[in-house]
Structure 1
């Protein structure tokens, strides 16, 4: 690549700070230009590493991510451009390091508002190391058919309409990124297209000047004509005039300085760019346009005539027509295709309980703000997310009561024991919690569903308590929800007593509880500890709740029991206690647990 060229079809770039959209737009440009490999060699993300996935045409590619410029440069010595998306606060050190990196020739600084002192220091460093800076406050630049910085030239549709997928013969330079995009379109319509377009940036002290790029264009034999777009403020254009007078710029130049409307205002006017403001008379757009014209540069009468002047000047060159290559069809991204109603696809998930697509989450159709404003309880939220309806207050209060009662049962039960052992082994909270939860099953906390299922079935079939017990015995099934290792008829479980008391006081009916208590009377004749335990009580009371509150059909009640809703109550509740034990062990800094030998029977 020649010294007057910044980019070619083989240019590879680093992207400093991961920006997915500009990366994808660069790769899309690569694809329609028929590049053999992506122009983005790597991403530099301070403190990060790994890979960024993007599309290269129809295929997906992995772009490596490095934590430092040094690591990226070492791994990709052919990458000679860095596109710096760092903020104006941190653009200086990263740009400085890039300019000091031997393999990087060009640095594009996208950030707007960099301190002028820092920019001047970077310019001195770039000149010392014979490097090029584009920006700051720039959209970047583009070499048609070869390489594009970030979002230069706009959408892929605009790029195709401007014929930027192949080189033309016009070099363009401007301060404005937005007008660079527009002028690519103008040049594409009035000439055979852009060869290279650069937006140097709108800050008062850009890293490179319009003249520097025009001098490069002058050296490039593929560029036959130069177009420039200046603006009021500063003296950039007078440097171009001086070069023209010294015969350093020999190719036809068509140029316009924007801001002629400033004379309509009574005082000093600041336009969009930091450097675009009225000052001395010589900095006005009218004065600059006049001086450019007098130096031999082609200047239209107004901006409205800019395109016509460009067309006339280009036609005078009598260049042969370019054979238009076939442009590969770029696949639409899924989101873009959906917006254009070009595709449809079946969904992979269905959600009927919540929706977070609006300004706030909705639980079963109720906005989060309403839940807070109307003082919904945890039980109310469970009723919405589990049952998709707001249950009566006595029902949600019962759910909360079950959570309180089942939250913990001391450190000796299997779930708490496992969670404690895991916590003392140094496992994190989630892992320790899962260790405890995984013990829940038929023998520990997992009998609620089965108790509800069997008691409901026996009651619905009209079986007497004695018939139910005999039937379970014949099937060889221990009755779920009956029996306790410690509690008995003489030493009842206080939790069960509280639940029974609440149900009898608040439920419209409790026939399934009555049926379970009748079964208990039968089993107590066999052993004093064959009582209705807390699992069985919660199970039958939930069936009573579903059956009596008139919110559910019989089919819905059966479905909820079969789906495991009731065991879910125990899992939710006991998670509170298990995490409490985990936090307790960590707070007490308990060491690794080892079971004592004298508590093991060795055979």
Structure 2
């Protein structure tokens, strides 16, 4: 490709924009006024696949550790695709001694770091995570895959299984641990044979119950286990399980030398225009995130706010309405608007925060729209992950031009204890109380990881007087608000006395912090650590969970950035394992110097418990308003009478008849029963436009009614006089047979009582012109049913009635009715009383309605296809009677 030199850079820029190229390296040859590219290496932004997949063609992106998937990794990948949660697994060393089951992406990195830092990099077997509150069954399957590889080879020195994780935001720890416990018990003998020891550390909702189950299960299996809650540091189990084995326990951490910043005038904040947050700050929430809004209001209650922190919700795809929430124990209505413009018009007097839950596909347009209201919406938080880098950079440029701060993308939000909560930051109510986030402390922290931000809340609460403000800037390569912006904001806040930074491998954000420490812009004590040091233990390029968590050169490695920050004056631990201890030591020094005055602890506030939460814990009960015994959609997949949908779909013998047997009769019936049900549906699906409601459906369709209305019109006329005489036919014939009446006596009784025999008679068919449907049904019953006493009785009645008139034959309604009674009574799956009750409750007419629905839908579609005009009765079709 040859281009004029003066236009080369412009052309390459357009090329990169068109293909969403994030990195480009090329060699060029310049000849006069021409520039020729002789060699090029470029990196595409995988998140932009939905925008330019056609332009990329069939390109394949490498996996996180730069090599093809192994069979076990592919199994986990397929499992991950079936759930909205996250299940990841990379097999590093099949013969490794140290195995991990880690909850959370950020936690998985710091556990890997700590294992490597204690000298076990070559013995580390795997890397991965489970997060996002995966269902119990998925955790069970995930754990089984890992344990199957772990126990596939013996280990003379024993194997170590680390089941760790941070303080979960919302994941039910007890529920996920049930899946792990189930798998542990299944592999109990194999784990013992490998000399396995288990080490557990976890926090979050229902963590105590989960830890108790884990301890009990290991005792039952007979393998040693140690379990810890959030009172232990996140990676303490690594030190306890591994360090002593190699004599790798480091010497005691030296006391930090803490420089107390001199007092003076407060410096101006420099945080990309990020607004100040008070107890009166309110937000717009973009998207129908009902749970997130309720969590923000619960935080308001704990903090004692007088007004809700959510002013309105925006739902562009819905309609303007109100959504009811709980504010304390009172009901409040939050307005829902279809446009941000209307929300601003109604509530735009004071500055607002926009918490955007727009998807990665729509967040660009939603954010650009919000930037048009920069006089009101002063800050935005973008929760979505996977926003293309080119779009992200454009958003940040436009926001900076308008004086608006953007936190994210890929952020969990932020936490301002006692004042304001951005989205889901801080996690469940249990976490808010555990970390004392209902009142402010003296520490400001910032991180990229959403999961680790909650762990930081816990670390800070355990080792200091608490959090004053915490902001997760997001894990993408180009965050809006940067680490330095947040730290300068903390530097300017007189209420923040020390700062905490948790960075990660990739990018150069931490170098900007180091420069600010060196030139004096940051003077307050800073405890900092950069995660991802384990990447240096591998001889190939590693991509951790976040889009920006990859070192593109030596300076972007975690170790290099930690050394740079330490040289600049930050307090940097020797490993993440010492992170909490170092924070505690710096805080203690500030308290001793009088820079921090620890306030008296206020009473712990109480939040009214939700009924659902109490019911889950078994503390309350209430009779259900509705009871369903035929289906359940609460598990990983719907079930019919306890049978999973996937199993029904795989069983070729079940079919529609089998599904009906499960839904109507709550059990699997023999194959011949299911096939008979299908035969009945096929033979009665339709009988022309003049019977069983087809006429009404046609009229309604031609009148312009929709499908459901037309269908209801037709179904409403099904009854003993107009199709659907099955129930009454079954009752009459069964009653006669059960009374031991002869066919002659039955006919005579009906004649005496002037009662029409239901199921007998046809307008067109006769003995000489039999109904093919009746022939099919009779033959099937005679061939497959154990006995047909009621069918035999009905046929004997037919012999009598046809002597009077040839058209008084057993019709299809009557034939199905008597055969179905024979089936229910004779198949062996129902007692006599159950069979009679089913007939009494209308199961036969239900079968007729199910079959005729097929025909009625066909008539509706037929009329719409023919586009017939509105139906009108001609006068010739009406008979007028004298009044």
TM-score tier after normalising by the smaller chain length: 0.7 to 0.9
Aligned to 1:279: 554
Q: 1:33, 1:327 within 8 Å by CA — same for their partners in 2?
A: no
Q: Does residue 1:182 correspond to 2:455, yes or no? A: yes
Aligned to 1:71: 342
| CA shift in 2, pair 1:79/1:336, >3 Å | farther
| CA shift in 2, pair 1:449/1:108, >3 Å | same
Q: 2:529, 2:573 within 8 Å by CA — same for their partners in 1?
A: no
Q: Does residue 1:572 correspond to 2:843, yes or no? A: no
Q: Matches of residues 509-524 of structure 1 in structure 2 within 5 Å?
A: 509-523=787-801
Correspondence for 2:818 among 540, 550, 560:
540
Moved more, 464-473 or 193-202: 464-473
Correspondence for 2:863 among 579, 585, 602:
585
Q: 2:274, 2:404 within 8 Å by CA — same for their partners in 1?
A: no
Moved more, 220-229 or 102-111: 220-229
Aligned to 1:291: 567
Q: 1:281, 1:287 within 8 Å by CA — same for their partners in 2?
A: no
User: Offset at 1:474?
Assistant: 4.9
Q: Matches of residues 251-262 of structure 1 in structure 2 within 5 Å?
A: 252-258=524-530, 261=533
Any gaps of 5 or more consecutive residues in structure 1?
none
- Listed one character per residue, the Cα deviations across residues 470-529 of structure 1 (whole Å, up to 9, x for unaligned) are 433554533322334444566554544554455455544433234334444555566565
- Listed one character per residue, the Cα deviations across residues 183-207 of structure 1 (whole Å, up to 9, x for unaligned) are 3333333433222222233444321
Correspondence for 1:197 among 462, 466, 470:
470
Moved more, 570-579 or 267-276: 267-276
SS in 2 for 1:65: strand
Aligned to 1:308: 585
Aligned to 2:171: none
CA distance in 2, matches of 1:276, 1:88: 21
Look at both structures and tell me which one has the larger radius of gyration over its CA atoms.
1
Q: 2:460, 2:583 within 8 Å by CA — same for their partners in 1?
A: no
| CA shift in 2, pair 1:321/1:47, >3 Å | same
TM-score computed with the length of structure 2 as normaliser: 0.61
Q: Does residue 1:91 correspond to 2:369, yes or no? A: no
CA distance in 2, matches of 1:259, 1:589: 67
CA distance in 2, matches of 1:501, 1:199: 73
Moved more, 22-31 or 465-474: 465-474
CA distance in 2, matches of 1:312, 1:472: 103
Q: Does residue 1:15 correspond to 2:285, yes or no? A: yes
User: Offset at 1:146?
Assistant: 1.0
CA distance in 2, matches of 1:287, 1:508: 85
Q: 2:514, 2:565 within 8 Å by CA — same for their partners in 1?
A: no
Q: 1:437, 1:571 within 8 Å by CA — same for their partners in 2?
A: yes
Aligned to 2:255: none
| CA shift in 2, pair 1:374/1:313, >3 Å | same
| CA shift in 2, pair 1:145/1:357, >3 Å | closer
Correspondence for 2:653 among 358, 375, 384:
375
- Listed one character per residue, the Cα deviations across residues 358-414 of structure 1 (whole Å, up to 9, x for unaligned) are 555554555543663443344444344434455555544443433333222211225
User: Offset at 1:559?
Assistant: 1.4
TM-score computed with the length of structure 1 as normaliser: 0.86
| CA shift in 2, pair 1:268/1:281, >3 Å | farther
Q: Matches of residues 394-413 of structure 1 in structure 2 within 5 Å?
A: 394-413=672-691
Correspondence for 2:426 among 153, 163, 179:
153
Q: Matches of residues 196-595 of structure 1 in structure 2 within 5 Å?
A: 196-229=469-502, 236-237=509-510, 239-240=512-513, 248-249=521-522, 252-258=524-530, 261=533, 265=537, 272=544, 274=548, 277=551, 279-280=554-555, 284-293=560-569, 303=579, 304-317=581-594, 319-333=596-610, 336-356=613-633, 361-364=638-641, 368-369=646-647, 372-392=650-670, 394-413=672-691, 415-487=693-765, 493-504=771-782, 507-523=785-801, 529-595=807-873
Correspondence for 1:48 among 295, 312, 318:
318
How many equivalent residue pairs?
598
- Listed one character per residue, the Cα deviations across residues 530-560 of structure 1 (whole Å, up to 9, x for unaligned) are 4433322322232233344444332223212
- Listed one character per residue, the Cα deviations across residues 140-160 of structure 1 (whole Å, up to 9, x for unaligned) are 222111111123233332322
Q: 1:186, 1:307 within 8 Å by CA — same for their partners in 2?
A: no
Q: Does residue 1:25 correspond to 2:295, yes or no? A: yes
User: Offset at 1:32?
Assistant: 1.0
| CA shift in 2, pair 1:258/1:590, >3 Å | same
- Listed one character per residue, the Cα deviations across residues 5-34 of structure 1 (whole Å, up to 9, x for unaligned) are 521111111222333443332222112112
Q: 1:191, 1:314 within 8 Å by CA — same for their partners in 2?
A: no
Root mean square deviation of aligned Cα: 3.6
Q: 2:591, 2:597 within 8 Å by CA — same for their partners in 1?
A: no
- Listed one character per residue, the Cα deviations across residues 84-118 of structure 1 (whole Å, up to 9, x for unaligned) are 23344543333233233121001122334544444
Q: 1:292, 1:299 within 8 Å by CA — same for their partners in 2?
A: no
- Listed one character per residue, the Cα deviations across residues 155-190 of structure 1 (whole Å, up to 9, x for unaligned) are 332322222201223333344444433333333334
Q: 1:106, 1:131 within 8 Å by CA — same for their partners in 2?
A: yes
Q: 1:6, 1:106 within 8 Å by CA — same for their partners in 2?
A: no
CA distance in 2, matches of 1:263, 1:565: 66
Moved more, 511-520 or 562-571: 511-520
SS in 1 for 2:819: helix
User: Offset at 1:355?
Assistant: 4.9
Moved more, 134-143 or 42-51: 42-51
Q: 1:172, 1:228 within 8 Å by CA — same for their partners in 2?
A: yes
| CA shift in 2, pair 1:291/1:116, >3 Å | farther
